[in-house]
Amino acid sequence: MATAIIYYSKHHGNTKKLLDAIAASGSDVELVDATEKHELDLSKYDRIGFASGIYYGKFAEQVLTFAKVNLPTGKDVFFIATAGNPTKNCFNSIAEVTEAKHCKELGRYISKGFDTYGPFKLVGGLQKGHPTEEEIQGAIDFYKSL
C-alpha cells in the first residue's frame, strides 16, 4: 500500500526517530520533510500520514500548510506526534484540516518527546530520554496496525 508521511521534526528530531524506526521496520513508506518539499501530488498514495512535534499546542505550521495545499479530498489519513505534554488536543489542528477535506482518519499515535523549550531548558528539559525504545516500538506497532 503506497504510503507517504509528511513531517516536521526540528526541535530534537523526536518525531523523526519514530518515523525512521517505522521506515527501518521494512514498511514501504515515503518520508517527506515539509521544510524541504512544499508541493507533492498526493493522489498516488493510498494513505497519507502527518507527523510533527507539537508547538504551542499545534502541529507545525509547515505540516498544516502542506496539508491545506496538497491533500486531496476523501483520502485515508493518520497522525503521529511527539510532545512535551501529550494530550488528545495535540491533534486538533491537523484533524481540523483533514476533516475539512472529508478525509477518513485511520488512527493517531502520540508519545512524549524531549523538550527544552524556554524555561524548561533551565531545569534540564522535560521528558528527557523520550521517545523511549518502547515508545518507538509503539509507533511501529501503530503503523503496522493501520
Ligand X SMILES: Cc1cc2nc3c(=O)[nH]c(=O)nc-3n(C[C@H](O)[C@H](O)[C@H](O)COP(=O)(O)O)c2cc1C
**83 counts as binding ligand X under rule CB under 6 A:** yes
Number of DSSP helices (H) and strands (E) in the chain, helices first? 4, 6
Which one, 102 or 121, has the nearer CB to ligand X? 121
**49 counts as binding ligand X under rule CB under 6 A:** no
**10 counts as binding ligand X under rule CB under 6 A:** yes
Contact 38, 66 (CB under 8 A): yes
Output the smallest distance, CB 112 to ligand X, in A.
7
**15 counts as binding ligand X under rule CB under 6 A:** yes
Output the smallest distance, CB 108 to ligand X, in A.
15
One residue of 12, 29, 66, 136 binding ligand X per CB under 6 A: 12
Phi, psi of 36 (to 5 degrees): -105, -30
